[in-house]
Amino acid sequence: MKHVTRQHATIASIASQWQVATSVAKVGRDREGGSVADKHLTPEELAERVGVPVSTVYQWNSRGGGPRFMKIGRYVRYKVVDVNAWEESLYVEQAAG
């Protein structure tokens, strides 16, 4: 029975981590007590999140078309709330019929 309990605890831990990491359109608190909305993603994290090469993310930055970003010194970062808003703007309404 200990094995099953330990396995359930591991599954619950993984599920919890996934919810914090993905937090698509959720505004809450992360494990450190900070707002998920205030979290910043790197270009690599954004590329992984949307399933595109990192070079595509950098092209969006220079040509437009991607989420709003900020420069912190020489580093590019994306606020999760900005990425969520950008993702929402990508939905295509289908015509009835």
Q: Is 97 a domain residue? A: no
Q: How far apart are CA 59 and CA 33, in angstroms?
A: 34
Give the pLDDT score at 67. 97
Evaluate whether 30 touches 20 at the Cβ level (below 8 Å): yes
Determine the structural domain holding residue 34 and report its residue range.
2-89
Candidates 48, 49, 27; CA nearest to 38 is 27
Residue 6 has pLDDT above 60, yes or no: no
Assess if residue 94 is contained within a domain.
Answer: no
Q: Please state the pTM of the whole predicted model.
A: 0.61
Angle at 31 between CA 19 and CA 84, to 5 degrees: 45
Asked if residue 34 belongs to a domain, the reply is yes
Count structural domains, the chain: 1
Please check whether residue 14 lies inside any domain of the structure.
yes
**95 located within any domain:** no
SS (H, E, C) 76-93: EEEEHHHHHHHHHHCCCC
- Is residue 54 included in any domain, yes or no? yes
Q: Is residue 84 part of a domain?
A: yes
How far is 97 from 94, CA to CA, in rounded Å? Answer: 9
Summarised one tens digit per residue, pLDDT across range 45-67 is: 999 999 999 999 999 999 999 99
